[in-house]
Amino acid sequence: MSQRICKASDISPKGREFLVSGDDGPFYLMIFRLGDHLLAYHNACPHEGRSLNFAPDRFLIGDDGLLVCAHHGAAFDLESGSCVQGPCKGSSLRTIEIRIRDDEIWLV
């Protein structure tokens, strides 16, 4: 069953967080805009499973474009989801599949 998340035009490079229902229960999803592309990840750091944001819809994105975990400083490449520095270097964020139809984002 797919779920409507929001309008694609509502997503900025700063990202947004959403509580969604998955096969294993509810979880937080984060979506970021990189140019014309939208990227969606499970909002859980591979280091300890904590959320990456420091407040709802508030993510730390450095001048270098890396997403930084607010709790332990792990830094992630947004395009690939790979941790490039910090306590979980070499790990990756879990990609979440989304589809865009008529400016609406849907969880697949």
Chain segment 15-67, per-residue pLDDT in tens: 999 999 988 899 999 999 999 999 999 999 999 999 999 999 999 999 999 99
Contact 69, 45 (CB under 8 A): yes
Q: What is the pTM of this model?
A: 0.94
Alpha carbon distance 67, 25 (integer Å): 25
Which residues, 6 or more positions from 22, have their beta carbon under 8 angstroms from its beta carbon?
107
Which tens digit of pLDDT belongs to each residue from 69-90? 999 999 999 999 999 999 999 9
| 37 Cβ contact list (under 8 Å, min separation 6) | none
Beta-carbon count within 10 A of 101 CB: 10
Strand ranges, E, within the chain: 3-7, 16-22, 25-34, 37-42, 60-61, 66-68, 75-77, 83-85, 98-101, 104-107
Summarised one tens digit per residue, pLDDT across range 3-20 is 999 999 999 999 999 999
- How far, in whole angstroms, is CA 59 from its chain's centroid? 9
* Phi, psi at 29, each rounded to 5°: -110, 140
pLDDT of 89-108, one tens digit each?
999 999 999 999 999 999 98
